[in-house]
Amino acid sequence: METTREQVLDYLSEVKDPEIPVLDVVEMGIVRDARLDGDTVHVDITPTYSGCPAMKAIEEEIVRTLHAKGFEKVVVHTVFREAWTTDWMTGEAKRKLEKYGIAPPPKTDAALRPALPFAGQPKPVRCPFCGSEDTERTSEFGSTACKSLHFCRACRQPFEHFKCI
Amino acid sequence: MTTATLDPELRPALFDYLLRLGDDALVLGHRLSEWCGHGPYLEEDIALTNLALDCVGQANGLLGLAAEVEGAGRDADDLAFRRDALDFRNALIVELPKGDFGFTVARQLLFSAYAHLLYEALRESAFEPLAGIAAKAFKEARYHLRHSSEWLIRLGDGTDESRQRAQTALDDLWMYTGELFEKDDTLRTLVDAGLAPDPRALEAPWRERVEAVVSQATLTLPEDDFMLTGGRSGRHTEHLGHLLAEMQFLPRAYPDAVW
A43 assigned to some structural domain? yes
Q: What single-letter amino acid sits at A85?
A: T
- When CB atoms are compared, the residue of B47, B132, B141 closest to A141 is B47
Q: Which CATH code fits B10-253?
A: 1.20.1260.10
pLDDT tens for the 259 residues of chain B, in order: 998 899 999 999 999 999 999 999 999 999 999 999 999 999 899 999 999 999 999 999 999 999 999 999 999 999 999 999 999 999 999 999 999 999 999 999 999 999 999 999 999 999 999 999 999 999 899 989 999 999 999 999 999 999 999 999 999 999 999 999 999 999 999 999 999 999 999 999 999 999 999 999 999 999 999 999 999 999 999 999 999 999 999 999 998 988 7
DSSP A24: B
Q: How far apart, in whole angstroms, are the C-alpha atoms of residue A15 and residue B65?
A: 27
Contact residues, chain B, for A47 at CB < 8 Å: 57, 136
Q: Which residue of B has its CA nearest to A137?
A: B43
Which residues 45-64 of B are in CB contact (within 8 Å) with A?
Answer: 46-47, 50, 53-58, 60-61
DSSP A16: B
Count of structural domains, chain A: 2
Please check whether residues A17 and A54 belong to one and the same domain: yes
Please check whether residues A120 and A62 belong to one and the same domain: no
Please check whether residues A109 and A74 belong to one and the same domain: no
A65 assigned to some structural domain? yes
**Which residues of chain A approach chain B closer than 8 Å at the C-beta?**
47, 49-53, 79-84, 113-119, 138-143, 145, 149, 165
Q: Which residue of B has its CA nearest to A150?
A: B43
Q: How far apart, in whole angstroms, are the C-alpha atoms of residue B226 and residue B240?
A: 21
Rg (CA), chain A: 18
Domain with A70 in it? 5-78
Cα distances from A76 to residues A11, A30, A33, A158, in angstroms, run 15, 12, 10, 37
Closest to B130 (Cα-Cα) out of B7, B12, B22, B10: B22
Q: How far apart, in whole angstroms, are the C-alpha atoms of residue B23 and residue B79?
A: 9
Q: What single-letter amino acid sits at B127?
A: F
Please check whether residues A65 and A117 belong to one and the same domain: no
Q: Which of A44, A78, A112 is the last residue of a domain?
A: A78
Where exactly are the structural domains of chain B? 10-253
- When CB atoms are compared, the residue of A80, A113, A145 closest to B53 is A145
A94 assigned to some structural domain? no
**How many pairs of residues across A and B have Cβ atoms under 8 Å apart?**
85
Q: Tell whether B28 lies on the interface with A, counting CB pairs under 8 A.
A: no
